[in-house]
Structure 1
Amino acid sequence: MDAVAVHRCRFVDYTPSAISAIAFPPLPLPRTSSTKQPVQYGTLAVGHANGNIDLCQWTGGVQSPQAWSVRTTLSGPYPSKVDSLAFALRDPNSLQSGAAPSPGDLRLFSSGGGSELLEWDMSRGCVRRTISSQGGSIWSISVNPTSNAIALGCEDGTVRLLSIANDTLTHSRRFDRVKCRVLSIAWGPPIPRQTQTAVQNDSSDDEDEEYWTDSWLVTGGSDSSLRKWDVKTGRVIDRMGTDKVRGERTLVWAVSVLGDGTIISGDSMGLVKFWDSRTCTQLQSFQAHGADVLCLTIDPTGTAVYTSGVDQKITQFSLVSTSSAEKGRTRRWVQTSSRRMHSHDVRALAMWPPHSALPASHQLQFPADVAPLLVSGGLDMSIVVTPAALPASTFLKTINPISTSMHCTFEDSYHRRIPYSTGPSSTSAIHVARSARLVCCTRDAGLEIWRILERRSDGESSQAEGGWEKVLDMELNVHTNVLAGAISDNGQWLVVSDLYESKLFALISDSDGSIKPKRIRGFPAILRAQLPPKSTSSGGLAFQFTPDSSKLVISTAAGSFILVVDLGSTQDQPRVLRRFDHHRNLNSTKHRAVAGRSGDEEPQSEEEASAVPISTSILRLATSFDGQWLASSDVHGRTHIFNLDSVQHHCLLPSFPQPAQSICFDPSRPSILVLAFPDNSIQIFDVEARQFPAWGKEISDNLPKRLTRTHDHVLGAVFDPAQKPRAVLLWGATWLCKIKLERTDPGARSGQRKRRRDGDKSPKMEPVADDGLRMITHYRPILHVDFLGPGELVVIERPLVDVLAALPPAYFAHKYGT
């Protein structure tokens, strides 16, 4: 990397939110005997203590070094939190048995310590509906295996069943009341219909729905006991008592059920217990943890259990075969391994593929040569992914899906930590005003602005010690957590938004260097006037000021519109120049752009124009350095190009398998657009020519493996305003690298491709992008990277030590002699 002046900034006191819940979607139940399932990866939902929910998608095929990356963030009401998460299948009968459902096939429910259950609209990014528990605070939620009911464990000691069949959410039944809080809840194995031939021959929907019926569920209470309930009568079948200390009540924080009916519990004494559901007696008990067991999950085969909690330790239990002269060959649970991968309390565990509690005859079979993945999260704010193959799989050559090591068993494999992004939907909450040398950072309900001071010729900062000063700290009146923000290049405009309202401020500098914000009061009304009459939101998902700070581009939080706003002067009222609806148009198949259709055509008829538009989220915006071009990219991988000079739509790029993580224009060639993707690949598009240039394809096809296989996915791409020859600077949470964008001799490269196609075994030419590739890894974790000017780079990092120092002390048990 060429020498540049680097501002290494650690003054931005951004603190991510703790992880409080994790959920994977369930798999559709089989209607016949077990069949082997292909390897697919489902959506990962991560709930945070600030009320936000991240929806993460798998970034590759069977193997992906980057694992899951955040695709969309559902912004929670302010203030709120997420305590429980659960997915349900929208229409279980329409899905292939055992196949990983897509986000469109799912419904997502959450609770946050209050009495309301929330259902989320994942395509629009907002709360779809709420319903009161009618029983006080909701302590636990669980969706039944057939995805037609959800059970709530309530403060008043009741279990309430809600019907979610046929896309409804209504109260169905209330179980008998007990004198304790219902802290945890799990459904027992469903019962299959015995007449297999009737299932195979009868195509009636009603018959299909009745193939599986619920039998019982189990709850853990705050009175040192578990209870088994009959689903049909709503009455307690039996009660199982746990251990107590000096008469104090033991809290059963976690329960789960295996396919054979075995009940597993974790409690506040650190005990993990296995119970026989038929006799409701204890089978085995383990003092596995030094403090409360807060969460547990089950291996997809049902032969391994993982538990964790306050003592930060994740413990594995395995079902092993034993033989004795008296009992013959039996199977029993053994505590086989423990690992500490978190620095503070672990609040949530989940496993992919998920365990389906089904009878042995209907168990889903997964490929034995691909290791399942254990996902954990807690107060230390990072998701940890660990390959968790069973010890028996060492006899097979097992694939490690995250490519961390050759070892795949839980005991020996290397885990990897998925870095947190500062902003919602894997955007950056940090924005740089280059000309004004300002750094802005948004938080849940406010923002801060700092000024980076210029250096004197002797290298010393001109004013404040450290070379920076805070110039603004604002608290905002918001209904949800802040979704997006931006600051103009000249430092005169600031925009910030929650789900319902965009707020525009004119920033006025005083003689002493401080900044006073002046609210543009009519701005939300100006935006709403350009939106459909029923729209009540002026909020934005992404903002982009043009380089001359004269225009603001907004992608709306509701409706998937793009608004181009002329800001004028600070005395004039802004006005909307045009609204673009192209991301809503039905010019795609399954949300993918159709090859051969330019995308700049208008709808052919009123019927097409009035058809139900596509719901999407436009999360990435970029403008060219000459202010002519605007690029916008949505979560369905579609990228549109607009001409800001004529305020017209220009073209639609072919869509890619994944949405772009970052898009930016080349300053020296304003028509060249670079798109970076979560799997660390890039694409280069010539906007004026409406094509991918041959030299760009060569670079994209020959990226260094060190880049594409690095574990942290790309977070951003940026150009040095004056760098020649051209190169794009890519950055992730732990790395920086520069990729040269130089034209090559197309004849030589095409000849090289031809030789490779012809099977020539001669040594391969060195790819252009490999020349001088160097990855810088001593900044971490990186929150944002941008250029303040030619050859002047600002790298904003937030050392993990500083973040963890703000947390309460972790659990520590002093051992004698240490």
Structure 2
Amino acid sequence: MEVHRCRFVDYIPSAINALAFAPVTTRPVLACGRANGDIEVWNPKNEWTLEKVIPGGKNRSVEALAWAHQTILTEEEDFWDSEKEKQAAIKKLVKTPPRLFSAGLNAVVTEWDLVSLKPKRSVDSHGGAVWCMATNHANTVLAVGCEDGCVRLFDIADGELAFIRSFDKQKTRILSLAWSDDDTIMVTGSANSSIYKWNVELGRVVSRMTVERVSGEDTLVWSVKILSNGTIVSGDSLGHVKFWAKDSTAMIQSFNSHSADVLCLAAGSDGTTVFSSGVDRKCNQYRFVEQPVPKKIGKNGKNITANGKTEMTTKWILAGSRRFHSHDVRALALDESRNVDALVSGGVDVSMVVCPAAQFPDINQRRIPHVPQRPIVSISKSKRLMLCRQEHGVKVWRLGKSASPIQPFSEIEIGAHMDLIEPQQAILEMKFKDEYNLTSAALSEDGQWIAVADIEEVKLFRISENLAHPGQLTVKKLKSFPGVRGIGAHYLTFTPDSTRLVVASTDSQVVIVDITQWESGTFDVVRKFGQHRGAGGKGAESMDVDGEEDIVGGEGQVETIVSMAVSADGQWLATGDLKNRIFVFNLDTLQHHATLPVFDAPLTSLQFHPYSPTLVIPTASNVFYLFNVENRRLTDWSREYSSDKNFPTKFLGLKDKILGIAFNPARRNTLLVWGANYICHVDLDQGVGDRNAILNVGKRKRVDRVKDEIRKQQRERRMKKYAALGIVPMPELESGKAVVVLEGKKGRKVLTAATNHVDEQKEEDVNFQLLHKFQPLMFVDFVGDNSLVVVELPFVKILSSLPPSFYRPSYGS
């Protein structure tokens, strides 16, 4: 097989600045804020599944994140007519999804719509850049620390976001803040070597704690926490982690456990565990433990402890330390619930690292792949073009060509290099000046169309050959293209005949646009489907051509569309959303055709088989399903094998999710399932094989070589034994027996002897064959018979783009 191994794609993930778990009163979910403004929402279920990415924008770096989930009523007791009505209101609050807030250097506090992924509300901080943010424990007030040295409170109760008041202004910026459990006290860390304790009701400082200075320079208090018992914890730019008394604010203990700035802290809910990390990349754990008091010895050498009993005391100790990252760690998040039990860290090296919090530091960590969890690459197979979406632009390459091999691919050694007669070439790059990052980009199969979208607009470009410079492309933006009436998109794709553009809009509609009349400036919206808005049923499953909805989706029925696929013949369209709903539409009749069953695990992609009306649905549990859209049922293979009780255990145990499916035109009944660190070959003409078989191709070959060597040694020993007995071995037969001649007194005697000392072991029945040669993978697909394109993003490429990491040489090193 010919493999185009592409490492030239210009894509560098952004650094992680903030991490925040949702309150325990709602479902477990983690928000990850990046330096480019993107906010990722992760679900710890199924080994950490990425649900959605809220797009950032220029000058929108995320410095702080906060979740809010109100569970208490703010109305007076006499507001409710009955206790039953009050309890119903509380249940409604509990069922309401959590709210997500972000802030950064642009001085704006934003609440996000977690379905459309657009800003829901925004308010000015009135104090410049926002460095920190936190909600009170009642989830009714949001506090932000600003550049001008002021803490400001915002009312977020009952869906509001409104300014309440400001605290007394300090002469330096507020870098960190934390609420007490009863929401009456707040602690802030500043850039002037000080930690302030505030009375929230009065908005005034009640106490001040001072950390050390070096050479007269101010120390930055990057992080503060208030534990459940009232103890205050701080981390500063000298590498110190300090514990302060609740009432007296006197320093209890100090740990000089970091070699550089402590940028982040995380605290356990019981107040006995604290984690710290920062520039030196170490992640430290501190525990509040009981220890014996040192014995007091009198002048006569006798123990003078009262009653001779060992006295006990409690103190903080440094319990463990690990290094998970290559560069500065900027954020920590901790969730100790039984379903999650995770300490998550992130920083400059762009990757999230997850480790079990309860077993820290003994259990190994897991690094979430740094490649995009939803592919940002699309190709034109007929034109051999590849497009990659970036934050504010797209880039197009023409794939190279290799010399035709003299011998068949099956006879060429795996990994052999083939000389290029035509190298890859970057032929087009487009940059956009839009405010928000791109959410999607698509390249048509004929290579003549490029569509890009953000959350505000969809743009369409016509691509043609430059007659003056052969091999180069010219781009024309179709200004007459109306988009989707000013609505952005989360997903774009073209039909295989390049006559229609399919748009998954930010308001969860599926829009079909005819682009064949582009020369006259006409772009007809031929159909809008509203299934993902909850508009279901045969009689009211879609929207009219003029855009008027037949039926409005009920509350909670609207959800973000995250996957789309069009069949190779252009007849079928499949779409999937975050409620795990999958709908199939007939593009010939422009009607809703089928609704698939809801699978147990979130879907990660959708892909049609190129030679049959079969939709392949991979899920986050690493089980994939095959659905025949014409018959509206799972295929025979899928009904028999698609289950975590049937799939190979080694495949189900892979940590990395299935990111996509690829089909080889030369082998129509096989498919390639790929994730960030593997490619798996599956033959649909076979079953799943031995559930406990070795799936790794390289490992299985090594095991086979060892077994062959053992058999060879055993045979040699038997031949020596036969020779000592006067047995002359003859050529072996296919039956596994050899003809031998025994010389004796009565003449020659012809016998047969077994060539194997033990019976041959039965060969493993293996179907799912794993290959780990190419990694980490951003994209995998075929451009022709036995011609595979793999796009890799080596971590060393990311490291080369990062600043040097902290290093302090030690004596003798």
Verify same fold: TM over 0.5: yes
**CA shift at 1:743, angstroms?**
7.0
Q: Structure 1's 780 and 14: CA in aligned 2 closer, same or farther, altered over 3 A?
A: same
SS of the aligned residue for 1:801 comes to helix
Is this contact kept in 1: 2:44–2:340, CA < 8 A?
A: no
Of 778-787 and 256-265, more deviation after overlay is shown by 778-787
SS of the aligned residue for 2:401 comes to coil
Q: Structure 1's 103 and 222: CA in aligned 2 closer, same or farther, altered over 3 A?
A: farther
Q: Which residue of 2 aligns with 1:479?
A: 435
In 2: Cα distance, 1:685 partner to 1:163 partner: 49
In 2: Cα distance, 1:651 partner to 1:452 partner: 38
**CA shift at 1:526, angstroms?**
5.4
Specify the code of the residue in structure 2 equivalent to 1:713. Answer: K
1:434 aligns with 2:372: no
In 1: Cα distance, 2:483 partner to 2:35 partner: 34
In 1: Cα distance, 2:148 partner to 2:495 partner: 56
Specify the code of the residue in structure 2 equivalent to 1:138. Answer: V
Of 485-494 and 151-160, more deviation after overlay is shown by 151-160
SS of the aligned residue for 1:707 comes to helix
Q: Which residue of 1 aligns with 2:313?
A: 330
Is this contact kept in 2: 1:634–1:659, CA < 8 A?
A: no
1:496 aligns with 2:434: no
SS of the aligned residue for 1:568 comes to coil
Q: Which residue of 2 aligns with 1:200?
A: none
Q: Structure 1's 379 and 92: CA in aligned 2 closer, same or farther, altered over 3 A?
A: farther
User: TM-score normalised to the size of structure 1?
Assistant: 0.81
Question: Which residue of 757, 779, 802 maps to 1:807?
Answer: 802
Question: Which residue of 536, 543, 549 maps to 2:492?
Answer: 543
SS of the aligned residue for 2:642 comes to helix
1:515 aligns with 2:481: no
1:686 aligns with 2:672: no
In 2: Cα distance, 1:172 partner to 1:619 partner: 38
Specify the code of the residue in structure 1 equivalent to 2:462. Answer: A
In 1: Cα distance, 2:257 partner to 2:154 partner: 35
Q: Which residue of 2 aligns with 1:401?
A: none
Q: Which residue of 1 aligns with 2:66?
A: 86
In 2: Cα distance, 1:57 partner to 1:411 partner: 23
1:696 aligns with 2:638: yes
Q: Which residue of 1 aligns with 2:581?
A: 638
Of 649-658 and 482-491, more deviation after overlay is shown by 649-658
Q: Residues 656-687 of structure 1: CA distance to partner in whole angstroms, max 9, x if unpaired?
A: 24432111111221x11110012211111111
In 1: Cα distance, 2:660 partner to 2:777 partner: 11
Question: Which residue of 395, 398, 417 maps to 2:367?
Answer: 417
In 2: Cα distance, 1:167 partner to 1:527 partner: 29
Is this contact kept in 2: 1:262–1:275, CA < 8 A?
A: yes
In 1: Cα distance, 2:118 partner to 2:664 partner: 37
In 2: Cα distance, 1:103 partner to 1:112 partner: 29
Q: Which residue of 1 aligns with 2:566?
A: 623
**CA shift at 1:421, angstroms?**
3.7
Question: Which residue of 34, 38, 46 maps to 1:52?
Answer: 38
Q: Which residue of 2 aligns with 1:562?
A: 510
In 1: Cα distance, 2:542 partner to 2:119 partner: 34
In 2: Cα distance, 1:578 partner to 1:273 partner: 62
In 2: Cα distance, 1:335 partner to 1:182 partner: 28
Is this contact kept in 2: 1:703–1:770, CA < 8 A?
A: no
**CA shift at 1:371, angstroms?**
7.8
Specify the code of the residue in structure 1 equivalent to 2:127. Answer: G
Question: Which residue of 43, 51, 74 maps to 1:71?
Answer: 51
**CA shift at 1:58, angstroms?**
2.5
Specify the code of the residue in structure 2 equivalent to 1:12. Answer: V
Equivalent residues in 2 for 1:252-263, closer than 5 Å:
252-263=221-232
1:715 aligns with 2:701: no
**CA shift at 1:91, angstroms?**
4.0
Specify the code of the residue in structure 2 equivalent to 1:717. Answer: I
SS of the aligned residue for 1:609 comes to coil
Q: Which residue of 1 aligns with 2:519?
A: 571
Question: Which residue of 203, 211, 217 maps to 1:234?
Answer: 203
Q: Residues 235-290 of structure 1: CA distance to partner in whole angstroms, max 9, x if unpaired?
A: 11110110111211000000001111000000000000000021010000011111
In 2: Cα distance, 1:164 partner to 1:718 partner: 47
Equivalent residues in 2 for 1:173-184, closer than 5 Å:
173-184=165-176
Question: Which residue of 680, 693, 696 maps to 1:737?
Answer: 680
Q: Which residue of 1 aligns with 2:28?
A: 42
Q: Structure 1's 665 and 178: CA in aligned 2 closer, same or farther, altered over 3 A?
A: same
SS of the aligned residue for 1:583 comes to helix
Specify the code of the residue in structure 2 equivalent to 1:216. Answer: I
In 2: Cα distance, 1:578 partner to 1:114 partner: 40
In 2: Cα distance, 1:162 partner to 1:696 partner: 53
In 1: Cα distance, 2:398 partner to 2:687 partner: 41
In 1: Cα distance, 2:767 partner to 2:552 partner: 53
Question: Which residue of 632, 642, 650 maps to 1:706?
Answer: 650
Q: Which residue of 1 aligns with 2:278?
A: 309
SS of the aligned residue for 2:402 comes to coil
**CA shift at 1:477, angstroms?**
2.5
SS of the aligned residue for 2:41 comes to strand
Is this contact kept in 2: 1:721–1:790, CA < 8 A?
A: yes
Is this contact kept in 2: 1:41–1:352, CA < 8 A?
A: no
**CA shift at 1:95, angstroms?**
11
SS of the aligned residue for 1:462 comes to strand
Is this contact kept in 1: 2:371–2:793, CA < 8 A?
A: no
Of 783-792 and 326-335, more deviation after overlay is shown by 326-335
Specify the code of the residue in structure 1 equivalent to 2:282. Answer: K
Equivalent residues in 2 for 1:287-298, closer than 5 Å:
287-298=256-267
Is this contact kept in 1: 2:23–2:69, CA < 8 A?
A: yes
**CA shift at 1:162, angstroms?**
1.1
SS of the aligned residue for 2:24 comes to coil
Specify the code of the residue in structure 2 equivalent to 1:186. Answer: A
Specify the code of the residue in structure 2 equivalent to 1:419. Answer: P
Q: Which residue of 1 aligns with 2:121?
A: 129
Q: Structure 1's 468 and 501: CA in aligned 2 closer, same or farther, altered over 3 A?
A: same
The higher-RCO structure (CA 8 Å, 6+ apart) is: 1
Q: Which residue of 1 aligns with 2:79?
A: none
Is this contact kept in 2: 1:542–1:620, CA < 8 A?
A: yes
In 2: Cα distance, 1:92 partner to 1:615 partner: 26
**CA shift at 1:744, angstroms?**
6.7
Q: Structure 1's 780 and 308: CA in aligned 2 closer, same or farther, altered over 3 A?
A: same
Is this contact kept in 2: 1:704–1:770, CA < 8 A?
A: no
Equivalent residues in 2 for 1:200-215, closer than 5 Å:
214-215=183-184
Of 647-656 and 735-744, more deviation after overlay is shown by 735-744
In 2: Cα distance, 1:413 partner to 1:89 partner: 32
Is this contact kept in 1: 2:383–2:447, CA < 8 A?
A: yes
Query: Greater CA radius of gyration, 1 or 2?
Result: 2
Q: Structure 1's 509 and 608: CA in aligned 2 closer, same or farther, altered over 3 A?
A: closer
- Count of aligned pairs between the two proteins: 689
Question: Which residue of 90, 98, 118 maps to 1:106?
Answer: 98
Specify the code of the residue in structure 2 equivalent to 1:24. Answer: F
Is this contact kept in 1: 2:609–2:615, CA < 8 A?
A: yes
SS of the aligned residue for 1:26 comes to coil
Question: Which residue of 128, 134, 142 maps to 1:150?
Answer: 142
Q: Which residue of 2 aligns with 1:346?
A: 329
Q: Which residue of 1 aligns with 2:2?
A: 5
Is this contact kept in 2: 1:600–1:651, CA < 8 A?
A: no
1:159 aligns with 2:151: yes
Q: Structure 1's 604 and 20: CA in aligned 2 closer, same or farther, altered over 3 A?
A: closer
Equivalent residues in 2 for 1:385-396, closer than 5 Å:
385-389=354-358
In 2: Cα distance, 1:241 partner to 1:371 partner: 37
Specify the code of the residue in structure 2 equivalent to 1:656. Answer: F
Q: Structure 1's 610 and 447: CA in aligned 2 closer, same or farther, altered over 3 A?
A: closer
**CA shift at 1:741, angstroms?**
2.1
Q: Which residue of 1 aligns with 2:484?
A: 527
